[in-house]
Amino acid sequence: QVQLVESGGGSVQAGGSLRLSCARSGYIRGPYCMAWFRQAPGKEREEVAHIRTTGDSTFYVDSVKGRFTISLDNAKNTLYLQMNSLKPEDTATYYCATDRRSFCYARTSAAYEYKDWGQGTQVTVSS
């Protein structure tokens, strides 16, 4: 059984930085796609970034390009999201997710396209 545990959220002022981590336990036959989603109150869950476990096939939603960086450490089974130049509109609960497909789509993905989810970590950016 796959479990995902996010950490690293918190409260920062606009312009600040945070690094989120997602530790995976349980076996998934690789390669596979991993993603970060976020959900603000009253809004749908949206994909922020994804990466294949081979380190390629990265994707970013337009609103975070140039500010966020997704990466992974396969030795530690950990996915990261480095968030710089944070804005109040980045405030949301951030979730990591994995799927079983061996590729990542070259487009934004919907939440239903991912199988496993963490419990989320809150990010609050004040102006």
Q: Looking at residue 11, what is its pLDDT? A: 98
Q: Looking at residue 77, what is its pLDDT? A: 94
Of 45, 43, 84, which Cα lies nearest the Cα of 64? 84
SS3 63: helix
Q: Looking at residue 30, what is its pLDDT? A: 83
Pick out the chain residues at pLDDT < 50.
none
Q: Looking at residue 100, what is its pLDDT? A: 87
Of 30, 120, 109, which Cα lies nearest the Cα of 77? 30
Q: Looking at residue 4, what is its pLDDT? A: 97
CB atoms within 10 A of CB 71: 14
